[in-house]
Structure 1
Amino acid sequence: MKTADIAQRYLDYFEKNDHLIVPSASLVSDDPSLLFTVAGMVPMIPYLTGVVPAPHPRIADLQKCIRTNDIEEVGRTARHGTFFQMLGNWSFGDYFKEGAIRYAWELLTSSEADGGLGFDERDLWVTVYETDDEAEAIWRDVIGLKPERIQRLGRADNYWNTGQPGPGGPDSEIFFDRGPAYGQDGGPAADDTRFLEIWNLVFMQDFIENIRGKTEFDIVGELPMKNIDTGMGLERVAFLKQGVENMYETDQVRPVLDRASELTGRRYGADAEDDVRFRIVADHVRSSLMLLSDGVTPSNEGRGYILRRLMRRSVRAMRLLGVEEATFPALFEASRDAMKEAYPVVETDWQRLSSYAFAEEETFLRTLTAGSTILDTAVAKTKATGSETLAGDQAFLLHDTYGFPIDLTLEIAEEAGIGVDRAAFDTLMQEQRQRAKADARSRKRAIADVSVYRDFRALGETVFTGYTDLETESRVLGVLVDGVATGRASAGQIAEVILAETALYAESGGQVADRGTIVGPGYELEVLDVQRPVPGLISHTVEVTRGEVGVDQPATTIVDAANRRSAQQAHSATHLVHAALRDTLGQGATQAGSLNRAGYLRFDFTWGQALSGATRSEIEEIANNAVRDNLEVTTRVMSLDDAKAAGAMALFGEKYGSTVRMVDIGGPWSRELCGGTHVGASAEIGLISLVGESSVGASNRRVEALVGLDAFRELTAERALVAELSTSLKAPKDQLTARIAELTASLKAAEKKIAAFEARALADRVPAIAQTAQRAGSVNLVAESVGEVGSADDLRSLATSVRERLGSESAVVVLVGTAGERVLAIVATNEAARAAGAKAGNLVKVVLEHVGGRGGGRDDMAQGAGTDSAAIPAAFDGVRRALAAA
């Protein structure tokens, strides 16, 4: 039975029983305390609490959910997934316990031919809250369930609440017995792996207060209106009805898993660790697709960070499966085809969704290349010092400079057998946030009470003369220290100075404030910042470097001419880049923010996908052609209506008065409303060099460029680098690309040959290694140091082959090899050895205690890494003693 068919049967059944069928709410929760819809009941909270009247006394739905608190369990259990679907039926003051129980039981146990799910009632168990006599009686006397298949559990298992004062109530859960192959008998109370929960019926009847913990709260009364809140896990029912082992093998997930298997050339089911990685990929790709379909885009915070983490864990898992190139085009397409029947939006909006996914993978692959090299070096140095903990500042450097996620650093470090000083990392992150906040405060001064400027503004607007003059004589209207009008400031103090006129540009429109000085009789001020704290008033933040400045003194503002020239080059270049973007991409590419400072520009624009190298080159060429053509730059002050009629663009985030300043470059070719300073003609810009392009949120991209001398210096440095490479590789610069490709191909071919040789060499050793087996306790033990190996995968493959060669008689294989300075250990056990009490996970810890490392695994296969190769013989002795004592 397909997953979509199960869902439709559920909805059809409850619609037939007078339930209003409502569509799924978005994965992006309306609840400000939640990033996502983490449970099926979240959209129903307003109805359940009575804040909003329910549209019908009975409702049923299929709700999309995202939950990542158990992300480490994904792939390792049958039921943990980050994206899942909850089928629910709800009663708001209508039917209660008996109705909910009857509906659930009838749907579950009715035949498929009659529209039910066809479960055999002999496979079903239930739990009830420890004091809920009423629910137990309904199950026993009304439904006819045998008493021995009804179990009572406490608050931790069978009582629901929101974690806040308000509604709560006991619940009754329905479990499916998967059979003795999955665990011990005894019902859900004994084994929740064998007995799988498929439906939870919450009887919302109590009002609770004084919540002290999950199970510590006071039930203070009954609710005036009793509600029913149920949830049936669609993925859990699907894998039971489809006869597969877990949710990853159902029809909506398995196609991704199979595609990953094709891409890697590895068979699902052949290796336990590989299987976990395949399941991670299948789950995370589907979850990412569904998040994208609900408007979430990858970013470094909030919901976008969760999405980015899922995507990057997928990429990481595919790399561990041996694939280093991009795989998202194939994997996301497989997920789209599996999900489109239930969620058509993944097909109709495919172009947008896929562009975000593919761009994110491309970006992360570059990050992995740089970050992994640096991390590997840091790990090696950490081990060389004898430490088992990577320094927090190393993890912070990877995160802050290279965009390497801390979660990935933790995973890779753990695989290498070391930890990470997370406390130090968190401290550095907090310090960075505090610096950012302090910088924002110092630049913007975030003064809540602007009344201090009222008297100064009453004297009239500050006259800005900087469009034409770099020096302006004025007088001091006010002096403020720490936000208080003091009338004067002395040498060494930081102050705000208000002038009647100024040539210094106040930060606005993306252009940073001018640098410069203010001088007067007996004093000199260094200008740190220039802002407009209230409309019409310009305030200069200064450091008094000499003398004392006071109200009514003469003052001359002097602009740093070189800095201003570079800044206005950058601002005019921004207009050219904007025009070039629209010329190349179309009118949909509009400005969404900018920053212009001396020699540099940053331009954000609306666009949903990364720019190709060819597109970036085209934009760069169009902008530089405009520089070459020496287009005239003109400014006009006019009414807002006239400017819009002339085709001027009103830009993102800007507020305009009735009178505006319009800047033309080449007439209508670039025509924008802008209050910034500009060059007189485009040739004065000099040179524009695009140096970066990236994503900055939902449907926004960012280009960065160097301008003028800064661009020239950057290109000069690149020319020197090309010359050095040309000399080193003995190839003309126009043949460098081909030469590097040739060397890379040769290196890959050599590495492939070496890997094949090493694999053959290891395989040839299997018979000899197997012959070293000796009796240890009740098992045959192979304990062998195999010397240098390429990787842990090679060692694991060798251990598996040796174990197979030893046959069905109880056997334990302990192999230790070295990879550089690392000591790798693998322990493999066969079924007979495990039956005799030999557990690989326990034995590998014995090995690692001696060689100084960490690791773990399952009963059949476990691994880890250490640093002390001299202790290998002692490690083997430790294993022998452990087996003898078993």
Structure 2
Amino acid sequence: MPDLDSGNLVQTADIHRRWLTFFGERGHTVVPSASLVSDDPSLLFTVAGMVPFIPYLTGVVPAPYPRATSVQKCIRTNDIEEVGKTPRHGTFFQMNGNFSFGDYFKEGAIGYAWELLTTPEGQGGLGFDEKDLWVTVYEEDDEARALWKKVAGLSDDRIQNLGKDSNYWSTGQPGPAGPCSEIFFDRGPAYGADGGPATDDDRYVEIWNLVFMQYAIQNVRSKVDFDIVGELPKKNIDTGMGMERVAFIKQGVDNMYEIDQVRPVLDAAVALSGKKYGADHGDDVRFRVIADHVRSGLMLMTDGVTPGNEGRGYILRRLLRRAIRSMRLLGVDAPSFAELFDASRVAMRDAYPDVEENWERTSRLALGEEETFLSTLASGTTILDTAVAEAKKIGAGTLPGDTTFLLHDTFGFPIDLTLEIAEEAGLTVDRDAFDKLMLEQRTRAKTDAKAKKGAIADLAIYSDLRSLGETVFTGYDTLETETKVLGILVDGQPVTKATAGQVAEVILAESSLYAESGGQAADQGRIVGNGFDLEVIDVQRPVKGLISHTVRVTSGEVAVDAAATSVVDPVYRHAASQAHSATHLVHAALRQTLGSEAHQSGSYNKAGYMRLDFSWNQALSPDTRSEIEEIANNAVRDNLEVTTRILSLDEAKAAGAMALFGEKYGDTVRMVDIGGPWSRELCAGIHVRSSAEVGIVNLVSESSVGSTNRRVEALVGLDAFRDLTAERAIVAQLTSSLKTPREQLPERITSLVEQLKAAEKKIAAFEAQKLSGRVPALVENATRVGAYLAVVEDLGEVASADELRSLATSVRERLGSDASVVALAARVGDKPAVIVATNPAARDAGAKAGALAKQAAATLGGGGGGKDDLAQGGGSDVTAIGAALTGITDALRG
């Protein structure tokens, strides 16, 4: 393996720098990597280098520069099962891209790619030997073929034609599309057959894809079946070079898991496990999975993603748990994330300094998730051991699919681990049943995702509106703004007018109405004009720079180009401003009380209410909650000035402003100070002018939202006052009813609760004594039913099913060693219940309590079952109790 610390070109961070330098020197604006958390509402993550540029490439938003370049962080998990098995499948990867928005086209893109690839390393290039490079083009793109021959001097036999399935790009929707050209590196005959990329994709590794976005398509029927309806007015270039693929080729290693940014994690796993890398294929795959998933987890958490049970958090949790599972399969049961994540931090911090800056938070999240999952594994193992014992007891050789699915779905217990433990016990797993349940779950998830995606309007419809310019937001300074209607959409389609009763989207040139963002709900208000009145239902930013107002036309008719006035509801705005400022106060109070680790991870506020999620792994004590609440309200009392400033991002960070995880910021930001540096955050929301305007902050709830996150909720202003008034009324009522002074209420209520518990205990004892008194009579009523001595009785009404069960087992014990069956039914509340108990002789004769209870429960309109010796059933039809017991008697006779 090459020396990865030598500072030569093989360093991945150096490839990163060379790329940006090359294209920056050729007139491209160098754009920093966007967050892994995508702005696109239809995507959970940034899945490709071009994602941040989609609005410019599709023309929805005018491009701010003619050409650009970036090294974009990406996450893809659709091929997660292939990670570790192939040389190039990774969940986190970096895509080096250069883009042209109506500037240069095919010849320029081909020229730049060939120049960078083949220029010697000493001259700033990547130093590939021309003889190792092959090219594919779309089979009908004669222009690209000719350019490759002209620009790169390639011969015809080094340029291969491929079809639409591999060399044609589109979004899968009507809009821009175009042919692709891909560059491949030949790894040599040791890796596969000769003959070019069309022959073998193990030997020939794709390293660069050039998309020539030149056509408009419609009537998209599939990836390869659509109608080309014309050329685009502006032809765009979107190219991407796979950083990890180039790195493993340049570093002379066999796969992406062995490059300098990934290999240290693999080596750490080797050291912890004591196993050798390269000795066993199965173990090698596990080492690679660990290396990939730990790096992906590190980068996701650095960008603000927190492990959870939904969306991005679920995918992160899955990656982390797959890494833990792989360590366990390598024989490491003890915690290992401290060593693994530290190795990844050191490997990634050169290219991404924010990895080091956010390390404290990332490390805490990773270690917390590991601790939780190791506990989960222990719980799941207990359940699995029980299932294994049950299967062996009844002589079954297979674990039921529903059991393994329950372990997987509810406890996060990996199926591979279930298979391993079952195999050790000499059992198999019903994979067909498990896979069927998994398929059903995925189908439900896809249907849900499709429905959610369908609910999002096609962003292309905003293109013409956005081309008219940005919507100017005036709401920081005024509640009313005279403006003009630029566009109207009804059911996602542009129209010229909307009439009374219709719901529509209205785009204004200016607006004083705040669009939902940064955790703050949208303003309430109206849009009025000559002859129309619109109730504002929602305000959103569907694309960057454009504000869309969802409205209900309450009267008249609104038309495009009409003069209009946006009017904010002042009462709602003031209450919403109070809540948003209260969020900042509570955040500052949290950090003052708990320390800098208590970092905000999410928030939501609207008029009268705020919630704030923050990084912390244990519940807050009542004293801590009170302290936080007091600090926030002291800030209200102190009437701290609230000021805002527009600064560059670097200036704001230098001033100590907190950039919150999960939020995205441009080069210019708005910094909100409350009391100067006491609370200083980047925030585009609406705030009060001084902290005294917040009124009251009343913390009403503190709860868990994951193993490493807590949530506080508060009522603010008048809503807080009303809540406190309601509590005061309750206290007054209690003091009056109990004839106890307010300060003595806690002791008085505690005393009453203890008296109540003692009384309930006495009543339960009396009931149990009364119940046990019925045992002799029931035993005496035992009759011979077929081969069994049976007690089949309707007891009328009992307090609980537990009493019924206790009575049934007592009667069974008194019946002796004859084959005996006890079936007792009763009403518990307004529901029927039945308990069936059998002794060993009855079970040997064929009477199974579970089967009898299930049969009776079906008659009662419900379900039931249990073990052969004791079982329970229930239902909804109390009038069917007699029929249910008759059914048991008939079954015993049979």
1:654 maps to 2:715: yes
TM value normalised by structure 1: 0.53
Q: Distance in 2 between matches of 1:370 and 1:330?
A: 25
* SS of aligned partner of 1:369: helix
Q: 1:608 aligns with which of 615, 618, 624?
A: 615
Q: What's the secondary structure of 2:136's corresponding residue? A: strand
1:804 corresponds to which residue? none
- Displacement, 1:427? 6.2
Question: CA-atom RMSD, angstroms?
Answer: 4.3
Q: Residues 674-731 of structure 1: CA distance to partner in whole angstroms, max 9, x if unpaired?
A: 6895676677557999xxxxxxxxxxxxxxxxx9779999xx9xxxxxxxxxxxxxxx
1:315 partner SS: helix
For residues 711 and 298 of structure 1, the distance between their equivalents in structure 2, rounded to whole angstroms, comes to 43
Q: What does 1:816-827 align with in structure 2 at a 5 Å threshold?
A: none
CA distance in structure 1 between the aligned counterparts of 2:204 and 2:443, rounded to whole angstroms = 44
Contact 1:199 1:230 in 2 (8 A): yes
Match of 1:53 among 62, 67, 84: 62
1:201 is matched with which residue?
210
Name the SS for the 1:317 alignment partner.
helix
- In the alignment, the residues of structure 1 paired with residue 30 and residue 191 of structure 2 have an alpha-carbon distance, to the nearest angstrom, of 36
- Counterpart of 1:668? none
Alignment partner of 1:369 is 2:378: yes
Q: After TM superposition, which residue ranges in structure 1, 4 or more long, deviate above 2 angstroms?
A: 375-400, 402-418, 420-434, 580-594, 603-607, 619-624, 640-659, 672-689, 707-713
Give distance in 1, aligned partners of 2:446 and 2:166.
40
SS of 1:257's equivalent in the other structure is helix
SS of match in other structure, 1:240: helix
Could you tell me which residue of structure 2 aligns to residue 797 of structure 1?
none
Question: Does residue 1:421 correspond to 2:434, yes or no?
Answer: yes
Q: How does 1:428-467 map to 2 (within 5 A)?
A: none
The answer for the alignment partner of 1:266 in structure 2 is 275
Equivalence map 1:462-611=2 (5 Å): 585=594, 606-611=613-618
2:784 is matched with which residue?
none
- The C-alpha deviation readout for 1:508-542, integer Å capped at 9, x for no partner, is xxxxxxxxxxxxxxxxxxxxxxxxxxxxxxxxxxx
Query: What's the CA shift for 1:236?
Result: 0.4
**What is aligned with 2:563?**
none
Please tell me the residue identity of whatever aligns with 2:110.
I
Q: TM-score, normalised by structure 2?
A: 0.52
Rounded Cα–Cα distance in structure 1 between residues aligned with 2:252 and 2:216 = 42
Name the structure 2 match of 1:134.
Answer: 143
Aligned residue type for 2:159: I
The correspondence for 2:402, drawn from 392, 408, 431, is 392
Question: In the alignment, which residue of structure 1 is the partner of 2:356?
Answer: 347
Letter in 1 for 2:275: R
1:534 corresponds to which residue?
none
- CA shift, 1:31, in A, is 0.7
For 1:105, the aligned partner's letter is W
Q: Could you tell me which amino acid in structure 2 is paired with residue 242 of structure 1?
A: Q
Do the aligned partners of 1:288 and 1:310 also contact (CA within 8 Å) in 2? yes
Residue number among 141, 162, 181 corresponding to 2:190 in the alignment: 181
- From 39, 42, 51, give the equivalent of 2:51: 42
Q: Is the 8 A contact 2:695 2:717 kept in 1?
A: no
Shift of residue 16, structure 1, vs aligned partner: 1.1
Given that 2:698 and 2:715 are in contact with CA atoms closer than 8 Å, whether structure 1 keeps it comes out as: no
Q: 1:275 to 1:589 in 2, by over 3 A?
A: closer
Instruction: Render the CA deviation track for 1:580-610: whole Å, top value 9, x for unaligned.
Output: 999973796999999xxxxxxxx99754132
Following superposition, the deviation at residue 259 of structure 1 comes to 0.9
Deviation string for 1:543-574 (max 9, x for gaps)? Answer: xxxxxxxxxxxxxxxxxxxxxxxxxxxxxxxx
Question: Which amino acid is 1:205 matched to?
Answer: Q
Asked if 1:169 corresponds to 2:178, the answer is yes
Aligned-partner SS, 1:50: coil
CA distance in 1, matches of 2:183, 2:444: 49
- Partner secondary structure for residue 307 of structure 1: helix
Could you give the per-residue CA deviations for residues 733-785 of structure 1, whole angstroms, max 9, x where no partner exists?
xxxxxxxxxxxxxxxxxxxxxxxxxxxxxxxxxxxxxxxxxxxxxxxxxxxxx
Whole-Å separation in 1 of the counterparts to 2:749 and 2:70: 56
Distance 1:414-1:10 versus aligned 2 partners, 3 A rule: farther
From 165, 169, 186, the counterpart of 1:160: 169
Change (3 A) 1:181 1:125: same
Compute the displacement of 1:621 (Å).
9.4
Q: SS state of the match for residue 713, structure 2?
A: coil
Give the structure 1 partner of residue 265 of structure 2. 256
User: What is the aligned counterpart of 1:324 among 333, 355, 375?
Assistant: 333
Paired residues, what number? Answer: 517
Aligned to 1:123: 132
CA distance in 2, matches of 1:378, 1:688: 46
Whole-angstrom CA distance in 2 between matches of 1:318 and 1:673? 54
Measured after TM superposition, the shift of residue 343 of structure 1 is 0.9
Q: Give the counterpart of 1:100 among 109, 115, 119.
A: 109
Please say if 1:78 is aligned against 2:83.
no
Counterparts of 1:649 and 1:310 in 2: how far apart (Å)? 35
The answer for the alignment partner of 2:347 in structure 1 is: 338
Taking a change above 3 Å as real, the CA distance of residues 414 and 194 of structure 1, as seen in their structure-2 partners, is farther
What amino acid is the match of 1:421? Answer: F
Q: 136, 139, 147: which is aligned to 2:156? A: 147
1:53 deviates by 1.1
- For the residue of structure 2 that corresponds to 1:660, the secondary structure is helix
- What are the superposed Cα offsets for residues 307-333 of structure 1, whole Å, 9 maximum, x if unpaired? 000000010001111111111111111
Long gaps (5+) in structure 1: 435-577, 595-602, 625-639, 664-671, 690-706, 717-886
Matched, 1:10 2:71: no
Which letter does structure 1 place at the counterpart of 2:287?
Answer: F
Measure, in 2, the Cα distance between the counterparts of 1:658 and 1:686: 30
| SS of equivalent to 2:220 | coil
Q: Percent identity?
A: 58
2:295 and 2:57 map into 1 onto residues whose CA distance is 30
**Hey, what does 2:553 align to over in structure 1?**
none
2-side partners of 1:194 and 1:396: how far apart?
Answer: 42
- Give the superposition deviation at 1:395: 2.2
Query: Does 1:112 pair with 2:125?
Result: no
| In 2, Cα distance between equivalents of 1:368 and 1:226 | 54
CA shift, 1:271, in A, is 1.5
Contact 1:14 1:89 (8 Å CA) reproduced = yes
Contiguous gaps of at least 5 residues in structure 2: 1-9, 448-586, 605-609, 627-689, 701-711, 736-741, 762-894
Q: Structure 1's 674 and 157: CA in aligned 2 closer, same or farther, altered over 3 A? A: farther
What's the CA shift for 1:66? 0.2
Measure the CA separation in 1 of the matches of 2:403 and 2:148.
Answer: 59
Alpha-carbon distance in structure 1 between the residues aligned to 2:334 and 2:617: 18
- Tell whether the 8 Å contact from 1:592 to 1:652 is kept in structure 2 after alignment: no
- Tell me the CA shift for residue 421 of structure 1: 2.8
* Distance in 2 between residues matched to 1:363 and 1:688, nearest whole Å: 37
**Structure 2 contact 217–227 (Cα < 8 Å) conserved:** yes
Which amino acid counterpart does residue 212 of structure 2 have in structure 1?
F
Please tell me whether residue 315 in structure 1 is matched to residue 328 in structure 2: no
What is the one-letter code of the residue matched to 1:654? L
Kept in 2: contact 1:661–1:675 (CA 8 A): no
Q: Secondary structure at the match of 2:212?
A: strand
